[in-house]
Amino acid sequence: MGGAGKILKKGLGEMGLNSGGGNINWFPGHMAAATRAINARLKLADLVIEVRDSRIPLSSANQDLQPRLSTKLRVIALNKKDLANPNIMHKWVDYFGSCKQDCLPINAHSRSSVQKLLELVELKLKEKIAKEPTLIVMVVGVPNVGKSALINCIHQVASSRFPAQEKKKRAKVGPLPGVTQDIAGFKIALRPSIYVLDTPGVLVPTIPDIETGLKLALTGSVKDSVVGEERIAQYLLAVLNTRRTPFHWRNVHDNNSKSPQNGTDDKHDYNLKDLLPKRRILPVASNVHYVEGVAKEVQCALYSSLSEFKGDLEDENELEILIEQQFEELQKALKISNKATEARMMVSKKFLTLFRAGKLGPFILDDVPL
């Protein structure tokens, strides 16, 4: 288990996890049914687009489906590339290439990015296109990796390609894991007919290890309520500290210290939940400025606390002490009152929101295998 995972060994029974792996206590019935449906339809699929989260290219793989997927034509789409470290992403592309596996980092909300994915899919299907009148492409992945967003963008691209095509219903999209609860499909090409099937994400009921479960929770593939926001925030702090990430924010800290006013002291009627993607709504400039100011305050607080830390980051007890201190500093940075009854929960939620929205920078949590 990694150093960041060790610190969370205490009370892991509450998560339904143990050091040898175990069940994570979230596997909705509709997902179990969807798993059976996926296995049945995989027999019909000519190509599978497996969507994974770019921040966890291995941890976001559905291990139960891997034996079946390895027998199919497959493209791994590493979605949310805008949230992943570009300096490391190319190493993952090289890794999958060394495994003879097609892989493409994408942003499911970008038509040009999805267009490149479709071009790769068509290239992979080139031989079959000459033989089969109808081809089926299947989209699979764990919850909240952006399958429905990808399906909807594919639909937009397909509609522009084939304006005469009858308008099809878009896949239902939501911010919580497992929102797409039906297996639906629509035509994206006419000659030959190519259908894309959307499937609900299916998370394996057994997480192989504690840290994989925490990564899935941190990136949103497991509901926060299952693991607990505070424990997820503790894990994120452990990751940042053991990687010495706050030291990269020294310039932010120095510039913030020189600035006479950082813009976050004024009261501002703004909810960090507004960071979540919303269609057709452009962010208000003042809100963007405010959020960026909050993110800088958080970065400065973590840089200062880590710089002043004299302990051993490899010692989980000392690391835990540092994290406790950082919770206090984050409470100040986020301007949450000491009198707030759920101050620690509020700190955790806002801290996680900033991370998930990419406001603390791009990250890849998985290590590239040697």
Q: Of all residues in the chain, what percent carry a pLDDT higher than 70?
A: 74
Three-state SS string over the chain comes to CCHHHHCCCCCHHHHCCCCCCEECCCCCHHHHHHHHHHHHHHCCCCEEEEEEECCCCCCCCCCCCHHHHCCCCEEEEEECHHHCCHHHHHHHHHHHHHCCCEEEECCCCCHHHHHHHHHHHHHHCHHHHCCCCEEEEEEECCCCCCHHHHHHHHHHHHHHHCCCCCCCCCCCCCCCCCCCCCCEEEEEECCCEEEEEECCCCCCCEECCHHHHHHHHHCCCCCHHHHCHHHHHHHHHHHHHHCCHHHHHHHHHHHHHHCCCCCCCCCCCCCHHHHCCCCCCCCCHHHHHHHHHHHHHHHHHHHHHHHHCCCCCCCHHHHHHHHHHHHHHHHHHCCCCCCCCCHHHHHHHHHHHHHHCCCCCCCCCCCCCC
Q: Residue 74: which of 44, 38, 50 has the closest Cα?
A: 50
Q: What is the mean pLDDT of residues 331-353?
A: 90
Q: Where are the domains of the chain?
A: 11-20+209-357, 27-198
Best mean pLDDT range from 82-96, 185-199, 203-217, 335-349: 82-96
Instruction: Kindly report whether the global pTM for this prediction surpasses the value 0.85.
Output: no
- Report pLDDT digits (tens) over 98-140: 999 999 999 999 999 999 999 999 889 887 877 887 888 989 8
Contact 221, 203 (CB under 8 A): yes
| CATH code reported for the domain at 27-198 | 3.40.50.300
Tell which wins on pLDDT, 215 or 181. Answer: 215
For residue 17, pLDDT beyond 50? no
Name the residue with tokens 């840290």.
Answer: 211
Q: Of all residues in the chain, what percent carry a pLDDT higher than 90?
A: 45
Tell which wins on pLDDT, 247 or 136. Answer: 247
